[in-house]
Structure 1
Amino acid sequence: VESLEQRLRAAKGSLDQQEQLRIQVSTLQSELEAASLVEQKLRTELQAARAQANQASAKVSTADSHLQGMRDTIDQLTSSKVKLQSELLDQLASMKRKLAEVEDHNQQLRSSAAAAAHQDTYRNLSHSIT
């Protein structure tokens, strides 16, 4: 009888251990399912974040291209401006030279006209005296 009671206690202990193991397995399965759901959610969020990063990268690339185009345009405009300023300065210098030549020519004409007028006045006086 005692031997049977020991076996019965051992069997009961074994059943208790099996029940605890079933509970632990069930708990671990629940945790695994929860972890799988979290993993899937994180994968979805990661895919969304990657898509946003790719869109942002494409926008940055487009902006960089646009910026480079603007820089090229600015460089071309600056070069054209410098060339135009140089040409305008050359034209201004040429016009100043021509103006100085015209002023000199006008001064010579005035001097000639004054000399001619002086001679006419001298002749008229000479004729009036005679």
Structure 2
Amino acid sequence: MKKETECLGEQKKEKQIILFGLTSMSADSTFYTNLLVTKMNNLAKKQQLLVQVEMHSISKLDEFAKAADIILLSPELSSMKEKIMEEYPAKVIQVIDKQEYGLFNAEKILKKLLILEDDQRI
């Protein structure tokens, strides 16, 4: 469900950020992560960013990673980052900082991701 807009004659596509976590392990973890995703999507909409954030269990990485522009990992998956980078070398892959995750700091998380993605494309 990618959206496109015209911006000064240039087409821009909505960025797909997929947050992977241990969503099937704990109802609390799933609820917490879902709240963060909702906050990120609301912030993106408010700031008119072409960003869509989804959440999936890490067990579904192979199913959803190819559709992602940015793969975002919850803090408890930090040890998997290197392996995922090997599997998806063309993707921007980032682990959410524990403090930012704990504080629901959607603004800081989004800002870091978009800057990181721009830097990687240079």
Query: Does TM-score exceed 0.5, indicating one fold?
Result: no
Question: Which structure has more RCO (C-alpha within 8 Å, separation ≥ 6)?
Answer: 2
Compute the TM-score of the two structures, normalised by the length of structure 2.
0.19
Q: Which structure is larger by alpha-carbon Rg, 1 or 2? A: 1
More strand as a share of residues: 2
Q: TM-score, normalization: structure 1?
A: 0.18
